[in-house]
Structure 1
Amino acid sequence: MTTATANVDERKTEEPEKPFKVQIKLRRYDPETRPDAYWETFEVDMYSTDRILDALHSIKWDQDSTLAFRRSCAHGICGSDAMRINGRNRLACKTLVKDLDITKPVTVEAIKGLPLERDLIVDMDPFFEAYKEIHPFLVASDKPEKERIQSIADRDIFDDTTKCILCAACTTSCPVFWTDGQYFGPAAIVNAHRFIFDSRDEDAKTRLDILNDKEGVWRCRTTFNCTEACPRGIEVTKAIAEVKQAILRGKR
């Protein structure tokens, strides 16, 4: 028997992976049925490659169709399914069940600091209002016939903050945001950073003036919660510090 044939035979005799039981403890809320939030536990069959989003789908499709949560692309790009999983902000579509401690129920609840609407869904309007206030768009007076040229070095300055997907995981992990409804929050500052340090933009001073407000960057307490929560690996705390430095210099 050749080596190739032996390998094929070995693959044929491999046992298919068997599912394992996982308990998912969800914080439920439906203002139409009861005024308070409550915990409810479901048991689902999972595989090692399954994600928390798969568990939620299983619950909604097979056990309780009233479960409400947001999701879209399911590939960590749209940012729709940010939630608190075992006490940490994460994307449900990127969190593998096998990476969690499944010897006890996995807790899943809505992100904090934004108004709770139902189950795992929060009102994102306050988050996007803060985002819009920092002018998250390129401002340039020239009208080139071709693309605006930018050096690799100039791009590197703000490349990290272009990765934001507006999932709100960083902002809703911030203790200041939980207690201060006026604070812009890390995500808004990250997106301001993306344009403040863009060499093609001409509105950096306006954004710096906005973030120099009492509810701007100076409310940050540098706890690093935001950096740890970011599913895109953005160095959020570093970006906020760079915006603070730019304000103190009076320019980018």
Structure 2
Amino acid sequence: MATPTMDKVEAEASASPYITVTFRIRRFNPEVSAEASWEDFRLEIDPKERVLDGLHKIKWELDGTLTFRRSCAHGICGSDAMRINGKNRLACKTLIKDIGPEKPITVEPIKGLAVHKDLIVDMEPFFQSYREVMPFLVTSGNEPTRERLQSAKDRERFDDTTKCILCAACTSSCPVFWNDGQYFGPAAIVNAHRFIFDSRDEAGDQRLEILGGQDGVWRCRTTFNCTDACPRGIEVTKAIQEVKRALITRRF
């Protein structure tokens, strides 16, 4: 068998798609310490891989105690929202090459919610706000014998807010929510919007009454953090403003 030349070995090495990346992860384990700390992990990874792939590599090959949520890994379930390089993102949609892999990639839990362990936060306050805005179709009368028809124009009215995947990226990017967890937050308002402007629904006034209180839409300071953070491209701030307008005019 011929021995490969040094030039060939170097050429193959230079052709490798892998680069060395440092993941700087905020770790927290209440069973070990009451304080969080940062821990660095160096790994070889293809820059076209996602941050979620890097986290998997760390957990499966370097430290099995690393804890984070993920499910579908395709930007649909919303489970893996976290702060990556200081911005709320889905780890499964964030490519290594797009976030400056030449510097340490910082990964930490989303803000405004209590941390259980490492990158996992307590989502119950978030879902409680979601439940309170009645995120379901409300109608009266007998159960229909066929589907409720709706025009394309009426459907278009709330099309944008149907895209929410409840990842909490928008709510946990909101400075008002950081300072006061009683605020419903952008995601709950977005999901209320989805039904307030649905022509088939009959509970718009009830939802507006809920959102018109002291913890509702008037707490919004229009910083656009929520719109910037949404991985689905929802115009969150616009939806909040439309709910405010509906509260004033009672037209929806």
TM-score, structure 2 as length reference: 0.93
Please give the per-residue CA displacement for 1:148-203, whole angstroms capped at 9, x wherever unaligned.
Answer: 01000000000000000000000000000000111000000000000000000000
SS in 2 for 1:158: coil
1:48 CA displacement: 2.7
Is there any run of 5+ residues in structure 1 with no aligned partner, and where? Answer: 1-12
* Letter of the 1:134 counterpart: V
Please give the per-residue CA displacement for 1:43-69, whole angstroms capped at 9, x wherever unaligned.
Answer: 111113200000000000000000000
- Answer yes or no: is the 8 Å Cα contact 1:135–1:207 preserved in 2: yes
Greater shift in the superposed pair: 17-26 or 50-59: 17-26
In the alignment, which residue of structure 2 is the partner of 1:117?
A: 116
Superposition map of 1:34-45 within 5 A: 34-45=33-44
CA distance in 2, matches of 1:237, 1:44: 38
1:16 CA displacement: 5.8
1:17 CA displacement: 4.1
SS in 2 for 1:78: coil
Greater shift in the superposed pair: 134-143 or 173-182: 134-143
Superposition map of 1:193-204 within 5 A: 193-204=193-204
Superposition map of 1:55-134 within 5 A: 55-134=54-133
SS in 1 for 2:102: coil
TM-score, structure 1 as length reference: 0.93
Is there any run of 5+ residues in structure 2 with no aligned partner, and where? Answer: 1-11
SS in 1 for 2:157: helix
Q: RMSD value over aligned CA atoms?
A: 1.2
Task: Report % sequence identity.
Answer: 65
* Letter of the 1:235 counterpart: E
Please give the per-residue CA displacement for 1:110-167, whole angstroms capped at 9, x wherever unaligned.
Answer: 0000011000000000000000000000001142211101000000000000000000
CA distance in 2, matches of 1:250, 1:156: 20
- Answer yes or no: is the 8 Å Cα contact 1:204–1:251 preserved in 2: no
* Letter of the 1:128 counterpart: F
* Letter of the 1:64 counterpart: D
Number of residue pairs matched? 239
CA distance in 1, matches of 2:249, 2:54: 49
In the alignment, which residue of structure 2 is the partner of 1:227?
A: 227
* Letter of the 1:238 counterpart: K
SS in 2 for 1:55: helix
CA distance in 1, matches of 2:108, 2:16: 29
1:72 CA displacement: 0.2
Segments ≥4 residues shifted beyond 4 Å: none
CA distance in 1, matches of 2:100, 2:87: 13
